[in-house]
Amino acid sequence: MANVAGRVGILTQVCLVAGLRWRMLRNGLRKKSNRLDLIGLIFVGIFSAFFVVGLSFAFFAGAYNFLSLGRSGWMTLLFWGIFGFWQLFPMFAAGFGAGFEFRTLLRFPLNLPSFYIISLAYGLADFSALASLCWLVSMTFGAGAAKPRVLPAMLVVVTLFVLLNVTLERLVGSWLERLLSRRRTRELFFVLFILSMVSLNLVEPITRRYGAVLRPLAQRLLPYLSWFPPSLAGKAIASAEQGHFGGVVLASAELLLYAGVFSGFLWVRYARQYRGEELSETAAPSPLAARTVSKVDDAPDPLSALSPQVAAVVRKELRYLTRNSFAFLTLIMPLIVVFLFSSMFSGRHPTTQHPVSPEMLFPGIMAYIVLILMAPAYNCFAFEGRGIQAYFMAPVRFREVFLGKNLLLLSVLAVEMCLALAALAWQLGLPSPPVFVATLSAIVFAVIGQLSLANWSSLNFPRKLEFGHMRGQRQSGMAVLIAFGAQVLFGGVSAAILFGGRLMGNRWFPAEAFTLLAAAGVGGYFSSLDALSRVAEKKKETLIEALCR
Amino acid sequence: MPEIAISTQKLSRRFGNLTAVDGIDLKVAAGQFFGFLGPNGAGKSTTIKVLTGLLAPTSGSVELLGMDFAAHPIEVKRQIGVVPEGMGLLERLTGSEYLQFVGRMYGLDRATTQRRAAELLDFMQLADRPKTLIADYSHGMQKKLALAAAVIHGPRILFLDEPFEGVDALAAGALKALLGRMTERGTTIFLTSHVLEIVERLCSHVSIIHKGKLVAQGSLEELRTGISRETGSKTTLEEIFLSIVGQDGTERPHLEELSWLM
């Protein structure tokens, strides 16, 4: 008979989980491709150490000064800072974090209390928790040094504050884990994350325009913050400093109540996981479902002018574009930027106080759109994944694949530029005909010229990207370098031509020069396609290996 | 002499110092249901990739239906269907969209592609989730879709790398029947599988690859006769496989080391 495993103590299990986290990190760095990650990690580590140690001094000084100067109520601000960092940082890091789902530990013989305690210990090993602990300890030393009689209250409050924060962070984390386990919500989270980052740009214009209205509203809301844990912690310390024992007990009891409520919710959440919550969204076939009648779409094919293979690639690319939240963002971003720029600069220039003319803004915005939308073309197979094999299994040459991909990109670019032009015309008016024609022909030259380079880069430096994932989602360094070089080259040529036109005093010279270059670019593009088909055949193994990982 | 569908001459493929496929000479007649067997890491998937153009051979040549693959890749690809290792699906399409994509890439007209895609989805029991992305399919559903995509253009040779892995018994039965009918109509099927019972039931001819080299080739009867002559008893494919691949004893697990489990 086989031996049955004996009981294991919680401490051993906590150590095992800590060891697991360490090994995952270490083994992740053993891959050759992760050497750069290691260098990055060292830099991040140094930066983080400075960040934590520096702020530890700041929290020590803050607590010491507030209590020494009799401004004990301001301690609340320090607690709010720590609370905000502890709760928000893991949320932002969720998409980038280690690929380990905590609930997978449930396959081991753990009872619910052990699972709960290990989870809290796991939460205390997070960067945000460790940093916050350092700052709380510094605050405690600062408070003790300034007013020794506050120390006992500080110890109680900090203990409760740590318990409350780690519980709340695990609670939010477990809900995030549940949300991010589903593809759709993961992608939605990703879009919201990017949008929230972009929205930070709106803070300044909104404050400028609506500041007078928002300020009294914010002041009216401030008193309600006193019911939240950081304010309660600050209130307890202030009471201790003033010798109001009752105030300390009351605020601590309220903190304990918060911790109890969060613990209750977390317990319920873990109990559900413990009972075997199913998070998978994988579809299963239903054999008994009614069979669909085979239908043939009789409507005329809008892509009938293209060969079947090119049309198939265009359709596939369009579907991928509409289902890729990241690509979708790159589509709406230029329009948001046009709106932002034209709103900000239509009245006055930020430095000269003069309005920016469409003569300057139109070429600038068009160049920005090209910059943003051309960047993904340098790694155009990024989202194919294993599907890259479909192109090599099918009886097609890669010129058809590139034609399909490039055609969709050009269509998107054209639509974006029309929308941006309309927005600009609405906000600022149109530029003069020479600038208009010169800009459009410069774009044809720059885009078509870049396409051949971008296609070559896609074949030679492929890097797999995954939909809705943030962790490890970066382009190949070489592809980025080529894209940057190409943008500098085409931008430089364009600037030289514009400068030449101004020097000669001929407003139509740039338009004529760019039209000639655009024609040459189109010829060069079509003649590059066959060569690229041969490169694709040579590079297919690299491509398949890089994308099928 | 039957028409030869698949023929290789001294086919080799190396990855650095590792020789995954080492000078193999394969001959598969048209209309055969051919099983390609070997232990893990023997070179089965590499061979299929080389035969289907997903990998270039380091040396040697591949002829499919009498055409040199290297010289006529497009013409050869029109005649073959592949379920590669990892399936090669575009996961952001629905099943129907993917089949239509593949059909059009093989040059089928729009109406034929739509009709065949719908019929294949019906047959594979995938038609009831028209809006589900392939990314959200189960492994078995993805496998069935990959099979559907491999046959949508009516290939003359079908390469299947572990086609029944993860497919439920009901669908597997229907698929086996379909593949049987295809061979009756002259399609050549080249199949790798770890499930020897499946190979034994479906395939008329078998090759065994071990450490990159072909160690046995012939009809099942020929292989059985060879082994029976040695052992004096009627043999199954599993016994044939083990007797050929496990001859040196290195592949056999040493059960005595796991005495604590018994």
Residue type at A460 in one-letter notation? N
Are B74 and A397 within 8 A, CB to CB?
yes
Of the partner residues A286, A393, A544, the one whose CB lies closest to the CB of residue B128? A286
- A34 vs A102, which has greater pLDDT? A102
Q: What does B155-206 look like in DSSP terms, one character per residue?
A: -SEEEEESTTTT--HHHHHHHHHHHHHHHHTT-EEEEE-S-HHHHHHH-SEE
Average pLDDT over residues A420-438: 83
* Mutation target vs B (from A185, A288, A386, A398; most B CBs, 10 A cutoff): A386
pLDDT over 90 percentage in chain A:
31
B58 pLDDT more than 80: yes
Q: What is the pLDDT of residues B89-108, one digit of tens each?
A: 998 899 999 999 999 999 99
- A28 vs A373, which has greater pLDDT? A373
pLDDT over 70 percentage in chain A:
82
- A341 vs B86, which has greater pLDDT? B86
Backbone dihedral angles phi then psi of residue A531, each to the nearest 5 degrees = -65, -40
Tokens 């208009």 correspond to A436
A360 pLDDT more than 90: no
Q: What is the pLDDT of residue A230?
A: 94
| A1: confidence class by pLDDT, cuts 50, 70, 90 | very low
Residue type at A490 in one-letter notation? F
Mean pLDDT (chain A) is 82
Q: What is the pTM for the complete model shown?
A: 0.73
> CA dihedral defined by A377, A379, A381, A384, rounded to 10 degrees?
-110
Q: Among all residues of chain B, which has the CA nearest to that of A391?
A: B105
Q: What does A220-239 look like in DSSP terms, one character per residue?
A: HHGGGGGGSHHHHHHHHHHH
Average pLDDT over residues A218-234: 87
Q: What is the pLDDT of residues A343-358, one digit of tens each?
A: 666 554 445 555 567 7
Are A386 and B260 within 8 A, CB to CB?
no
B60 pLDDT more than 90: yes
CA distances (Å), origin A366, targets A361, A363, A417, A418, B181: 8, 5, 7, 10, 59
- Cβ–Cβ under 8 Å, residues A364 and A358: no
Q: What is the pLDDT of residue B169?
A: 84
* Mutation target vs A (from B14, B91, B120; most A CBs, 10 A cutoff): B91
A291 pLDDT more than 70: no
**Residues from chain B contacting residue A315 (CB–CB below 8 Å):** 97, 100-101
Are B88 and A297 within 8 A, CB to CB?
no
A332 pLDDT more than 90: no
From chain A residues 292-351, the ones with a CB under 8 A of any chain B CB are 292, 294-297, 301, 308-309, 311-313, 315-316, 319-320, 323-324
* Mutation target vs A (from B14, B64, B104, B129; most A CBs, 10 A cutoff): B104
Distance from CA of A295 to the nearest CA of B (A): 7
Q: For residues B156 and B185, give the distance between their C-alpha atoms in angstroms, rounded to a whole number.
A: 9
Tokens 């094999």 correspond to A389
Q: What is the pLDDT of residue B27?
A: 92
Q: What is the pLDDT of residue A258?
A: 95
Are B92 and A467 within 8 A, CB to CB?
yes
CB-defined contacts A:B, below 8 A: 143
- Cβ–Cβ under 8 Å, residues A388 and A544: yes
Are A396 and B105 within 8 A, CB to CB?
yes
Average pLDDT over residues B128-147: 88
- Cβ–Cβ under 8 Å, residues B64 and B6: yes
Q: What is the pLDDT of residue A407?
A: 94
Residue A258 tokens read as 């918060």
Are B107 and A308 within 8 A, CB to CB?
yes
